[in-house]
Amino acid sequence: MAFSRIEMILLLGLSAFVLRVLPQMFLVANSFPESWDRLLRYLSYALLCGLISITLFMTGARFEAESAPYRGIALAVTIVIAYKTKSPVTGMLVGVALVLTFTSLR
């Protein structure tokens, strides 16, 4: 069965909406046992960390080896600053400044 591009976008959005809305339909009235709560938290955080990694270091299936070292250093500094100051924005700003510095030095 052939779909037009608009139909495919509609189906794609529908699948995304179902994934978003199902927990709100069936899990709102429930409180999870502590261990399941932890599993959900770990799953969400692990996915977020995976997303950070592929956004920074990958383009499709290609590892961006040339820029990975300085992006990695900037990320590490961001993490340390955010941890020490308890301010994610400060960490991010320092990381951005570092990336700009590294890029201008290349």
Map the footprint of another protein across residues 40-69, applying CB under 8 A. 40-58, 60-61, 63, 67
Longest dimension (CA), the chain: 56
To another protein, the closest distance from the beta carbon of 58 in angstroms equals: 5
In the complex, least distance from residue 33 CB atom to another protein, rounded to whole angstroms: 11
| 73 makes contact with another protein (CB under 8 A) | no
Cβ distance 74 to 57 under 8 Å? no
Residues near 102 by beta carbon (within 8 Å), at least 6 away in sequence: 70, 73, 74
Q: Is 86 in the site for another protein (CB under 8 A)?
A: yes
d(CA 7, CA 26): 28
Number of residues that bind another protein (CB under 8 A): 75
Residue 35 lies near another protein (rule: CB under 8 A): yes
Choice from 11, 33, 69, 73 touching another protein (CB under 8 A): 11
Q: Least distance (Å) from another protein to the CB of residue 26?
A: 8
Closest Cα to residue 56, out of 42, 70, 39, 41? Answer: 70
Side chain identity at residue 12, one-letter code: L
